[in-house]
Structure 1
Amino acid sequence: MKFCTRCGLSVTGSGSKCPLCQHTLSDDGEESPDVFPRIETIAHTHGMLLRCLLFGLISVSIVAVMLDWVFPDKPFWSGFAVAGAACVWISVRIAITGRGNIMKKLLNLSILISPLSVIWDIATGWHRWSIDFVLPCTYLTVMLAITVISRITRMPAERYLIYLIFLLLFGLIPAIFLAAEWNGVRLPSFLCVTCSLLLFSAHLVFDGPKMKGELRRRLHL
């Protein structure tokens, strides 16, 4: 059993600091079990796999930079390889970090992919593949995934209200592209907007009273 001489507190577990004052605990030598067991996350259980992935991405980046240096036919193409490797690593870290709910992680990934794809498109000459395909397809996938997950887990409407709002926003972004006539290929954006309106309407019809009550509660109306 461990003891804090400053707080007069007995502490179980393997910690070396007092949870109240952070003073170093004195130990009488007797082992005591942890009150709160450690919950392993993907980052812990697959640490070696993640380290191998990180090493692989670093290796690809280094080789690309060296080849670009030795054969400078197309200057700075290695920058795209390094940026791609960084995007892969950031996406993987967002997907596995912590134990947050999967809906939040999907939103974070979609928010990350959106500006990165546009920046990449601009850097490669602005061929509009980002707004023609990447953004609407990403938003459409996230909308369908959130809807399926909410139904499979039987999540109450009030718990995913914020995600319903994002469903509408995801549909409005491609609508802006269509209204401004920025698209070269319009079908993915049409599908995204249509799916957003259909899903939001379905939730409004079937879960409308619950959504209304949750909005009143959150906005203190």
Structure 2
Amino acid sequence: MNRCPECDVMTAHRRCPLCQAELSEAQAAIRWYPDYDRKQQRIRARISRLAIFIGILAVLVCFFINLIVLPQFLWVFYVAVAVFYALVSLSHTILSASHIGGKITAQVISLTIVLLVIDAMSGAVQWSVDYVVPALIIAGILVITIIMVTVRLKWTGYVSFLLMMIGLGFVPAVLYLTGLATVLWPSLVAALYAVVTFALMLVFANQAFMTQLGRRFHL
């Protein structure tokens, strides 16, 4: 079989039936994977390292300014968590070629850390652990579930990340039981949604889902 690189068709003839270009056996090679652009990867790595350096430098500068100007209030932690989230978003979400499920999970975890720090620094009002963190985890589970339903042929690649998000769904309940959270219903909703999602996966994709569970947990 010969392949026309211009029309992207396979034919047994020596000429392309569409553009009539002469074909050869050398053109029949099919690339099953996209080309690995080393130059682009090096550029991304340099940008990531430069961003990390600038972020650390900015935090250190703010830390010394904080100690000199207003040592009784460490506002540098606000800067630190903002830089942390920006670096995660840039290095792991934007520049990285990581799995989209991993990017969603990383966003949920990093945002949770940022919100907890901001909440603690603002006087422990607990708005983050009571409302925002449960809602964020529910949103993460929902997004991964929607993607799995949409890309049916590739949904197995999202199982590990979905299980991780389902596990995170019980974190608000743990925070409530330990007394860190004071409002019960958001924690219950997050845990219930995690359980329902897991149950639906068992019901509608039981064989394939159990196979993936066995592979990942060596059951």
Task: Name the TM tier (shorter chain).
Answer: 0.5 to 0.7
Matched, 1:38 2:57: no
- Mapping of residues 16-27 of structure 1, within 5 Å: none
Match of 1:83 in 2: 80
Matched, 1:128 2:126: yes
Does the 8 Å CA contact 2:59/2:80 hold for their aligned counterparts? Answer: no
Q: Please give the TM-score of this superposition, normalised by the length of structure 1.
A: 0.62
Change in CA separation of 1:125 and 1:155 when aligned onto 2, cut-off 3 Å: farther
CA offset at residue 88 of structure 1?
3.4
Change in CA separation of 1:129 and 1:219 when aligned onto 2, cut-off 3 Å: closer
Alpha-carbon distance in 1 for matches of 2:148, 2:195 = 17
Deviation sequence 1:87-114 (CA, Å, 0-9, x none): 3322323211321111101112222333
- Mapping of residues 64-79 of structure 1, within 5 Å: 69=68, 72=70, 75-79=72-76
- Aligned amino acid, residue 88 of structure 2: S
- Count of residues in correspondence between the two structures: 183
CA offset at residue 142 of structure 1?
0.8
Match of 1:159 in 2: 157
Q: Please give the TM-score of this superposition, normalised by the length of structure 2.
A: 0.63
The share of aligned pairs that are identical, in percent, is 23
Match of 2:108 in 1: 110
Deviates more, 1:126-135 or 1:203-212: 126-135
Change in CA separation of 1:58 and 1:152 when aligned onto 2, cut-off 3 Å: farther
Match of 2:99 in 1: 101
Does the 8 Å CA contact 1:58/1:85 hold for their aligned counterparts? Answer: no
Alpha-carbon distance in 2 for matches of 1:214, 1:111 = 23
- Aligned amino acid, residue 191 of structure 2: V
CA offset at residue 170 of structure 1?
1.8
- Where structure 1 has 5 or more consecutive residues not aligned to the other structure, the ranges are 1-35
- C-alpha RMSD of the superposition: 3.8
Deviates more, 1:103-112 or 1:202-211: 103-112
Alpha-carbon distance in 2 for matches of 1:89, 1:158 = 29
Query: Any idea what SS the aligned residue of 2:144 has?
Result: helix
Deviation sequence 1:67-125 (CA, Å, 0-9, x none): 8855x4x7334313422431332232321132111110111222233344334433443
- Where structure 2 has 5 or more consecutive residues not aligned to the other structure, the ranges are 1-34
Match of 1:198 in 2: 196
Higher helix proportion, which one? 2
